[in-house]
Each structure stands twice: as C-alpha cells, then as structure tokens.
Structure 1
Amino acid sequence: VQRGRVLPRHVRAPGPLRAWLHRTRTGRPHVTWKYAATLDGRIAATDGTSRWISGPESRAIVHADRARLDAIVVGTGTVLADDPWLTARLPDGSLAPHQPLRVVVGTRDLPTRARVLDDAAPTLVLRTHDVDEVLDALTAHPDVLLEGGPRLAGAFLAARRIDRIQAYIAPVLLGDGLSAVRDAGVHTIAEAIRFRRERVETVGADVLITLVPDREQRSG
C-alpha cells in the first residue's frame, strides 16, 4: 500500500522483504536488472533513439517500482547518451515522496548540467568499473535497480550479480540497433547464463517477463 492505494501485483513482489533476506544471507544488495526491449532484443535504434520502446503502462510500473526501491544504478554511457533524470514520478508527473539514490558508475566525466546531478534526489558517482566495488558502496541500500546500459548489464551478468530480471518486451521490431547486453563473459553455449521464469504478465501492449537465476543449471 502506498499513500492510501493498493499497488498492482507486479509492484508488490518481491518487495523489501526479499531484498532484506538476500542481504542478510549474502551480505550484498539484491540487484534487479530492468530493461525494455523489442522482440529482436534491441533497446535502441541505430541512431540511438529509444523513446519509447515500451508503452505507458510499463513506464508507470517502473516509476512505482522506483518509488519504493533504495537505489538505481546506471553507467556513465547512459548518462552521456540519454541524460536521464532517474527519479520516481507520480502519474501526474510530480516527484514521488520517496526518491531512490541515483548511482552513476564509470570513469568518464559527467556534464555539470546533467539532470542526474540536480537536487531532485541524492546522487552517488562511483568512478570504477568493478561490480563488487559498486555493491560494497551500496550495502546500506538492500534493494537495487540496475537500469543500464548494455555494458554495465554485461559486467553484472559476468560477475553473477544479477538476482532478478524484469524484461519488458514490446511488440516492436527494429532489425538492428543496440542490444540489451554486451560482454557478459559468455563465449560458448555451455557458458550460457541461465535463468528460470518466475512470472509472465501482460502490461498494456507489452509483456513483462520476470526471471531469477537458475541455480540448478548444468552445462553441456
């Protein structure tokens, strides 16, 4: 429940309890990788445009998620390419009462006027590419959302630090463009990083697929 209304089922689970239990068990934050992609796995067209691949219903769920999460993580490449605000907003466009910590990872300098550096929400800039250094800096933030881009997602996947995936798949085809993930450390099918389906839902015109790591995966 938030501000007197019941949130949709997709927003309530897994919730803070799962993140807290995960941190208690592992000593690190629970990381959800969220992305929106086309049917052919593209998150942007060849010219870099990506607004909007997913529909308004999907974007509303993302903002509701942000309004309860502890931190949002992106790379410097995402900030330089898209200048995202990374805030949680209510349906009327105003800022939600709770804002997650905005975390920017990478060694490139950010423009002083980048929206992520304003005072709408706190921001932490981590000048590193080491996934575990990032998570060590976020131990006080148990529920973390990883929002991009493909190289950062690949680094977290390669380090086996993705605890859940929320993939918003839109009924759109691009045929070319930016892939959702790069450099995940997989060179052969035997090394594939496998997940199991937790839930599949229709969200407007999109399909939301929620996955968790397949702890029983076998190679070969």
Structure 2
Amino acid sequence: MRYPMDVFTGSVQQYDGSRPSAIAKRQVDGELELTDRGLVGDEQAEKKIHGGPDRALCHYPREHYAEWAREFPEQADLFCAPAFGENLSTIGMTEKTVFIGDIYRWGEALIQVTQPRSPCFKLNYHFGISDLSSLMQSSGKMGWLYRVIVAGKVSTEQPLEQVSRLSDVSVYDAAAIAWYTPYDDEQYRRLLSAAGLSVSWTRTMQKRRLNGQIEDNSRRLWGK
C-alpha cells in the first residue's frame, strides 16, 4: 500500500501558561532532508521527552480530526492537521492498522514505527481543553512515532510505502496494554517481544514487570 501524505515542520515557541513547544507546525513542500533525528528544520522543545532517535517523526491520522471536531464543536475550527504537532498526516493509516516495528519507505529513507505517541499536558493548553491529553490517550486516537533506520532525501510528493511487518502488536494494542487494561504480565511480554519497540517503552514496560505496578502518569497528562 502507498499512502500520500502532507508533511509539517515547526520551531520552538513560547506559550503563556505553559512551557515552550514546537507544536505549531507549518506545511512544507518539495524535497527535504531526513536525518536520524528527524526532518532538517523541525525542532523539539524538551528533548528528554520529545524527539531523539526513537521519536524522530510523529504521525497522526487525519481522519481523527473530524471525530474530535464533533466531540468539541466550539473548538471545531482548531481540529485540522497539523494541530497535534505531527510531522506526517495521512488518510487510511490508523492505530489499528499500523503495527509496532512496521517499516516504511519514504523516498531514499526507511522509517520504523517505535511506539504510540504519549500525549502530554501541553495539548490541554494548546486547544483550551483541560483534559484533552487524557482523552487522547484513553480514546486510542494518539498517533505514533518513528525512528529513521536509513536517512536520506525525501519529498512531500512521495508516498509512504510499507515494506516490512515485524510484529503482531498494533499501535492500538500497545496503547491498550500500556494504558487501558490492568497489569497483565503476559501482555507485557507480548509487547516487549515486538521488534522495533522504542528504548523508552521497553524500559518502562520492563520496570512495570519488575515492580508489578504501573507508574503515575498524572504529571505527563496534567502537568502536575
């Protein structure tokens, strides 16, 4: 399958009442350079939790925006790509059809799905919806992240083309194991066995197995 897409990059900006963020991205056209850290010209504000080799690109399904607009009609005008700060926007790829470890060709580059996006509290400020990050996580409409396994020249005119599927764990399954269901060691084993899973998710899931409990995510979701 080939998936045409829109591509976006952004720079870090200051926001009243919140921390600096590069969520406000703009559409770009033509040829671009993709490195192991992402698209040249794209920035991240807090590199400990955004960006890096396992989070070089963020992808969000464009069809989710209509669902968000129906849920929040007063903010409907805000719900269009790239409002969630994504780099890649497509129709036809969702968390239930994309799998951890999937490899896609994009121009000269190869990119691999590493984890679901972990929504953070900055989204609450960006949209003026106090619990949007929590709703995004609980709904399964969170998008996903990629690592770059072969860097190179890419173009907004070139589609994504899937070339390998390496696991049976969809992005939605990974989110369900991590966030929606009680601790289940067998499911954690399944997630940890998914080829391509990011280092940070591998570390978190292994810690949960060792401790037998799920860490507190309130700071990420609410900024507290």
Pair in the same fold by TM > 0.5:
no
Higher helix share: 2
TM-score, length basis structure 1: 0.30
TM-score, length basis structure 2: 0.29
